[in-house]
Every structure is written in structure tokens, then in C-alpha cells.
Structure 1
Amino acid sequence: MAIRDWPQAERPREKLLSRGAGALSDAELLAIFLRTGVAGKSAVDLARELIGAFGGLRPLLDADLKRFSAAHGLGAAKYAQLQAVLELARRHLAETLQRGEGLNDPMAAERYLRARLRDLDHEVFAALFLDAQHRVLAFEVLASGTLDGAAVYPREVVKAAIRHRAAALIFAHNHPSGSVEPSAADRALTERLRQALATIDVRVLDHLVIGEGPPASFAARGWL
């Protein structure tokens, strides 16, 4: 049955408009993006099939052009549209953090840092630089490495804090393996950075380890 023949309250687009995007399933959200199905399948049917074939919504969204375009009902045009949507989401998160208001919601920083770092295939160490009112001054990648780690030098981090005139920082780095459990090396590095930044009166508010699932927070564990 075509979606236009469904009860109006159950059609994905109308459902979103009346109840909000959070009320929709992954397949329904994807169906709105796809707009149309293929012969014998509605957009929702096609969306369910694609999510199953890719092993979930995230693998579908993370697929490269070749694999994405090879799927039935997709192609280069849809891939370009999807990449544009994902980049819009990242930029929206960035602007949300940079509106000049204090960073009173820790989840806002977490969402942004996850969007920036979660899907990278190499380790990256980055920081959000904040002013005295915890307003975001800048996001900067401080080091990039291989799957085994990234070289981070306290002196360079201190120089970056001075350059941005920061009063506080939130560090974040990703674990490409997916594990969010901080290593002993992660803890030792964070302590070295905290001590180095203390010499210029810059506070480290948190260090987030990004991987699969919710990030690990050093602050939440009482390590800062």
C-alpha cells in the first residue's frame, strides 16, 4: 500500500508535523528523506530494508559513496543530499555552542564533540576553548594520530589557550576502537595538561572520551 493511502495520522510527514520528529522511528525518518519508494515498496518499506541491509541507521549514514550508491533506491544524488543534511546538523550544533551564551548545558558540548569526533577512523585530540563565563571561543584539533594514539604536547596546548584567551577548556578525544573506557595514558596526559594549564590560570572542566555509546566523562568520574 502506498503511503498516500495510509491513515493521515500514520503518514511519516504528517506524523512529524503533528507530534514532532522524536515520535518517528528510524525507518519513518529515513522515509521522509527518501521521499519515494521503489516498485512494490513504499518509502517506509524501502527505509526498513535499507536499515536492515546496512545493519542499522548509523552504518547507513556513515557509508561511503560507493557502498551507499550501490544500494537499491539510492545513488549519488541521494548521497550528496545526505552529506549536506549531516553537515547542516554539525553546523547547527556548532552555532548552538557559539551564540554567546554560557555553556550551562554539558550535554550541548557532548553532542557537538560526538558529532565531530565519533566517526573518525584515526585518533584525534581536540578542545573547546571557553571564556570566563563558559562561552565557547573556539574548537580546535590539537593532535591527530593513528589508530594507536595521538601525540599531545602540553606546551602547545598552553600556547593555544593563550592564543584563544581562554579561561577554561573541555578536552575530547576519540577511540576508533569504539571503547570509551579511558586508558591509564589518557588519565596521565590529562593530569599533565591540567597542571600545565594551571600555571596560566586556565581550568580543565572535563575530558570526554568519544566512542560507541555515551562518552566517558572525567569530571563525572571525579578525576578533575
Structure 2
Amino acid sequence: MLENTPVPLKNLPLEARPREKLLARGAGALSDVELLALLLRTGLAGKSVLHLAQELLDTFGGIAGLLNTNADDLKRIKGLGGPAKRAELIAVLELARRALTQQMAEQPAFESPGAVKDYLQLLLANRAHEVFAVLFLNAQNRLIALEELFRGTLTQASVYPREVVVRALHHHAAAVVLAHNHPSGNVQPSRADQALTQSLKAALALVDVRVLDHVIVAPGRALSMAEEGGI
């Protein structure tokens, strides 16, 4: 079928070419596929750059999923086998992650509670395994750092309060936001999540560090335990 036949960018109608479209109408007029195609620049034999960009988004779950990829992940995509193209894409994705972190650092984390959930969802929601992260905040609730401290099946036994306390002291944090993802897609806290939250809250209280929230994220959704009365 015609729709499955890759079309080189130079053969597309002028108004459909990503570069020309961006210059004429602005970056906001481009789809995720078109923006990614501009970064990739070239496809490969039998596959246009637009098809390659679409494959990347489909494989990793969209832009949010791409933000969580690394160079080894990208090797799975035919057409990104060369180190130069992978390095360029990883560099751009890292800049995007750092831009998000900088925005969080420049305003109080709870000036807009939704922004915290959006930020954590973007960084953690598309992981294939559970990740436990901590946002370390200063006395003005501005972000000092985000660290991923534990991976795997998260229970009270596998997340060590002592390590969280050590990192909080290292950053001279006044408060923290706990966060983890549920790959299953269900963001409701389990009993283990609730027990872990209370255990960490008690441990951090001993060094005068407040737990402001525990956010659970999954693709397309996020839950604040503070908003649900669980903190």
C-alpha cells in the first residue's frame, strides 16, 4: 500500500517537509515525529527519516519514553547503529532532562503541585521496572537534586531509610518528595507503599527533614499521596 511506502524527505510536498514547515510556521506546528526527524536528519535504505522517527516513538512510548533511553537502548533501532547519530540524540535528550530540572529548581516545587507530578511522570512513568527516586528540596521548597536511589520490586525491605537519610544530609535538604513508578499502570498506593512512606517519614524526622509528598506515577497518570491524605 502507498501509505506503507517510505518517502524521502526531498520528495515530500514543500509544506510537508519538517525543516521548511518549522521555519515557516514555528516549531509548535510540527508533530513529535517531525521534530524528531529533524534531529535524525537521515533515514536509511528503504526507510525514510520520518518512518525512522515514528519507529523510535512507537518503540519507546513517545517523547516521554525517549527521555528515559540511553545509548544501549537506541542500538535496538536499525538506523541508529552508528555512534555519532546515537550520541547526538542522547545529547539532545539529556539537554531536555536538564532543562526540566532547571525549571524545577528555579521555582518552589509546590507553587504548582501539578508541575511536580508532571515532572515525575515524564521522568519515571515509562520505566519498565520500578524506580524509587527522591527530590531533595531546600527550605524554600526549591529543587536541589533528584536522585534515583533504588530499582526493582520496591518494598520496605528493599528501600533503605538510612541511605535516604544519608543523601538528604549530603544535600543539606530541608524537605523531600518521594516518588516511584508503577509499571502496571495502577497508581493506587499499596500497603507496602504506605508502610514505606511512614518508615521514611519517621527516619527523616530524626534529622529534621520533612516528607512533603510521595508521588506514584504510571503512563498517563500520577497520584499524590499528600493530596489523598496519606502523608
TM-score bracket, normalised by the shorter chain, equals 0.7 to 0.9
Q: Which residue of 2 aligns with 1:170?
A: 177
Q: Which residue of 2 aligns with 1:43?
A: 49
Matched, 1:64 2:70: no
Alignment of 1:1-224 (within 5 A): 3-4=9-10, 8-38=14-44, 42-48=48-54, 50=55, 54=59, 57=62, 61=66, 62=69, 64-68=73-77, 71=78, 73-76=79-82, 77-99=84-106, 101-103=107-109, 104-142=111-149, 144-147=150-153, 149=155, 151-224=158-231
- 8 Å CA contact retained: 1:126, 1:139: yes
Quick one: structure 1 residues 206 and 59, their matched pair in 2 at CA, closer, same or farther if it must change by over 3 Å? closer
How far does residue 170 in structure 1 lie from its aligned partner after superposition? 0.7
- 8 Å CA contact retained: 2:117, 2:223: no
Q: Which letter does structure 1 place at the counterpart of 2:108?
A: G
d(CA) in 2 for partners of 1:202, 1:46: 47
Q: Which letter does structure 2 place at the counterpart of 1:204?
A: V
- 8 Å CA contact retained: 1:181, 1:216: yes
d(CA) in 1 for partners of 2:183, 2:190: 13
d(CA) in 1 for partners of 2:163, 2:20: 52
Q: Which letter does structure 1 place at the counterpart of 2:160?
A: Y
How far does residue 86 in structure 1 lie from its aligned partner after superposition? 1.6
Percentage of matched positions with identical amino acids: 52
Q: Which letter does structure 2 place at the counterpart of 1:34?
A: L
Deviations 1:174-194 (A, max 9, x none): 234444332111012112323
How far does residue 4 in structure 1 lie from its aligned partner after superposition? 4.7
**Aligned residues between the structures:** 218
- Deviation larger for 185-194 or 6-15: 6-15
Q: Which letter does structure 2 place at the counterpart of 1:14?
A: E
Residue segments in structure 1 that go unaligned for 5+ positions in a row: none
d(CA) in 1 for partners of 2:52, 2:128: 29
Higher relative contact order (CA 8 A, sep 6+): 2
- 8 Å CA contact retained: 2:43, 2:50: yes
d(CA) in 2 for partners of 1:180, 1:32: 35
- 8 Å CA contact retained: 1:147, 1:176: no
CA RMSD in angstroms comes to 3.4
Deviations 1:38-91 (A, max 9, x none): 56765335544x3597485469844724421xx2x4432322222222222112
3-state SS of paired residue (2:219): coil
Give the TM-score normalised by structure 1: 0.74
Residue segments in structure 2 that go unaligned for 5+ positions in a row: 1-6
Give the TM-score normalised by structure 2: 0.73
